[in-house]
Every structure is written in C-alpha cells, then in structure tokens.
C-alpha cells in the first residue's frame, strides 16, 4: 500500500549523484516530477536525459544566486513546487583535527551548512503552501566519527539549522524535517565501503547488519516531502539501521 498518492513537484539540490540521485530516481519512478541541481553540466544533462519528468540546473550549493535561480527555473518549468530536498553536500578531509586545513574546513561549512540555508531561503520563497522541506544531515550529527571534525561539525550544524527552520516556518505552512542517513553506497563512501577492513568495521556498528539502499532513503524522503504528516515538522530522523545508537 502506498501512503503517497498523486504527482507532485520537487526540487533536489545535489540531485545528480549519491543520495540525491537515489531519491530523484525513486521519486520519478513513483510518478513525481523532479528538478535537480548539480555542479557540472554533464551530470545535470545526464539526469535530464532520463525523461520529461526530470529537469535541472547547474548550481553550486554555496552560491546563493545560482540556487535561487534553480528554484525559479523549476517553478517556471513545473508551474510551481510542492517540496524541496536540500541534500547537496561534500565530504570532509578525513584527517585528525590537528592536521585540518582551515580553508578546506570553511569550504565544507559553506556547502554543507550555508548551502542548506541558501536552499531553505529559496524554498521558503517559492514553495506552495502547504509545502515540505527535507534537510539531509548525516548520522554523524548524532554519532560523530574520529578524523572527521569538519564533516561532523557541518552536519551537526545542519541538523540544528533544520530544527530552527521548523520552529520558525511550521506556522507558515512549511513542514521542515531532517534526515540523518548512515552509510549508503555512493561515490563519496566508495573509498570506505570498498575497503574490506573498513567495511567490516562499519558493519559491526550497524545493528541491522547492512548498509542502506536506495529504497531505504527514497521511500523515507518521498513520505516526508508528501506532507502527509505535517505534525512531524521538526523531526530528526535517522536512516541508519540503528547505527546511530
């Protein structure tokens, strides 16, 4: 049984790869229209070549004007937007904190935190009411990992930002939720999951005994974007097979 019925119009930042791409494919397979953003022309073109249900714009999440323009593009193409999955993000350096580079640290914050703010502001301006915003943080916001101080800090801030948006915007007809995925196989995580020793160590921390798949994340995001349960606004939802515990 499907709880979500009818075609809706969504925008996904960072929707050309990784978790964003998983969700874009899930949503279009479910009959929704999706506008994706990506940082490269070729990745956006590859996504839009999948069919008329997918459109896209080139936009770096840290560029407020580009993000705002992407939302405007989607509204023009679809006649409006019902929800946004603010997903774009980058990995940390994977170094002990004493060796982190401040310039790179700021870039992680610019994309993973300020980029979410840019997307949220554009969504607030353009989404139909009632509407839904889903922010992608990480299980690292709940259970930090050593050697990822930059990434951990950015995702904890992202979760706090989503909570604040829910406090401010729920009365304005926007349901704002935050998802905290665990390990899914993406280009970002391949270097860890393809290493037998690291993969084994990571699996040992996940009570479900496996890594996440496209349905795990796609179905959850679809439900949250549907605004079927608007009283969930403010919820922070781990999608980690209990790996957040």
**51-93 pLDDT per residue, tens:** 999 999 999 999 999 999 999 999 999 999 999 999 999 999 9
Write out the E strands in 164-226: 174-181
Q: pTM of the entire structure?
A: 0.95
Cα–Cα distance, 126 to 148 (Å, whole number): 34
Q: Tell me, what's the pLDDT at 1? A: 36
Q: Edge-to-edge strand order for the sheet containing 54-58?
A: 54-58, 33-38, 9-13, 83-86, 131-136, 174-181, 236-239
Q: Tell me, what's the pLDDT at 6? A: 77
Q: Tell me, what's the pLDDT at 24? A: 98
Q: Tell me, what's the pLDDT at 187? A: 86
Average pLDDT per run of 10 along the chain, which is 245 residues long? 73 98 98 98 96 96 98 98 98 96 97 99 99 98 96 99 99 99 91 91 95 97 97 98 94
Long-range contacts, stretch 55-58, CB < 8 angstroms, 24+ apart: 56/15, 56/16
CB 84 within 8 A of CB 11: yes
Query: In Å, what is the CA distance from 78 to each residue of 3, 48, 55, 104, 226?
Result: 23, 14, 9, 37, 17
Q: Please say whether the structural domain 9-236 has been given the CATH code 3.40.50.720.
A: yes
Cα–Cα distance, 30 to 235 (Å, whole number): 24
Give the pairing type, strands 9-13 and 83-86. parallel
Cα–Cα distance, 218 to 170 (Å, whole number): 23
Write out the E strands in 15-90: 33-38, 54-58, 83-86
Q: Tell me, what's the pLDDT at 210? A: 96
Residues paired with 10 in a beta bridge: 34, 83
């Amino acid at each position: 049984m499907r709880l979500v019925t009818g075609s809706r119009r969504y925008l996904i930042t960072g929707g050309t790869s990784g978790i964003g791409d998983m969700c874009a494919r899930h949503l279009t397979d479910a009959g929704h229209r999706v506008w994706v953003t990506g940082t490269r022309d070729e990745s956006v073109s590859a996504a839009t070549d999948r069919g008329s249900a997918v459109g896209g714009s080139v936009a770096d999440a840290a560029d407020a004007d580009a993000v705002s323009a992407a939302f405007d593009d989607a509204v023009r193409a679809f006649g409006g937007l019902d929800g946004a999955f603010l997903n774009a993000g980058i990995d940390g350096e994977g170094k002990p904190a004493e060796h982190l580079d401040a310039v790179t640290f700021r870039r992680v914050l610019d994309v993973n935190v300020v980029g979410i703010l840019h997307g949220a502001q554009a969504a607030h301006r353009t989404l139909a009411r009632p509407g839904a915003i889903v922010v992608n943080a990480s299980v690292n916001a709940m259970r930090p990992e050593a050697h990822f101080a930059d990434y951990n800090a950015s995702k904890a801030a992202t979760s706090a930002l989503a909570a604040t948006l829910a406090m401010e915007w729920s009365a304005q007809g926007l349901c704002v939720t935050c998802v905290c995925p665990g390990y899914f196989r993406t280009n970002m995580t391949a270097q860890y999951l393809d290493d037998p020793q690291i993969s084994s160590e990571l699996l040992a921390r996940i009570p479900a005994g496996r890594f996440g798949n496209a349905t795990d994340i796609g179905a959850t995001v679809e439900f949250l974007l549907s605004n079927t349960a608007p009283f969930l606004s403010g919820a922070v939802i781990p999608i980690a097979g209990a790996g957040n515990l």
